[in-house]
Amino acid sequence: MIDIRRRQRNFGDGFIRETVDELWEIWMRHADAILADEELLETIHHALLQRHPRSRTHGRPGTPAEVVLRMLLLKHIRDWSFAELEREVRGNLLYREFTHIGAEKVPDAKTLARLAQALGPEVIEKLHARIVALARIAEW
């Protein structure tokens, strides 16, 4: 099963949010507003559901589309490998809050690479086009 967003926040998430609220970089705040777009999340969610015919209803919960999008953006912005991405998000409360992982387990590097591969170049191109369109209409 793959969700668009995490279903339930937990106690640790509130602690993390409060602890890092003033540490956000300016680009993170702008990106956070843009990444809340439903069309972006639906695009990723649809692509991830295509991995297996029964992904929608069977199996253990997969990485939510929102987390995949935010992890891949952070990887791209920081120019990290998947292993560096896993390590940095695992050990940094600010990155946990930005990626909406919170107190949950961080996906490992191999899982992240497979998720990125499952999206493919066509989906990445759609995401880029949508993000550019959103950035053009945003008023900052």
What is the CA 23 to chain-centroid distance, rounded?
A: 19
**Average pLDDT of the segment spanning 55-77:** 85
Cβ contact 48:55 at 8 Å = yes
Predicted pLDDT at 61: 73
Q: Label residue 119 by pLDDT band (50, 70, 90).
A: very high
pLDDT score recorded for residue 1: 52
**Predicted confidence (pLDDT) per residue in 7-42, tens digit:** 666 666 666 777 888 889 999 999 999 999 999 999
108 DSSP assignment: P
Answer whether residue 5 is part of any domain.
no
pTM higher than 0.85, yes or no?
A: no
Question: Do the domain assignments include residue 4?
Answer: no
Q: Is the residue at 16 inside a domain? A: yes
Residue 6 forms part of a structural domain? no
Q: Quick check: 89 and 35 in contact, CB under 8 A?
A: no
Domain presence at residue 107? yes
Range of the domain at 102: 11-137
Query: Can you tell me the distance from the alpha carbon of 2 to that of 118, in angstroms, rounded to the nearest whole number?
Result: 13
Helices and strands, number each (H, E), in the chain: 7, 0
In the chain, how many domains are there?
Answer: 1
Position 58 pLDDT exceeds 70: no
The verdict on residue 32 lying in a domain is: yes
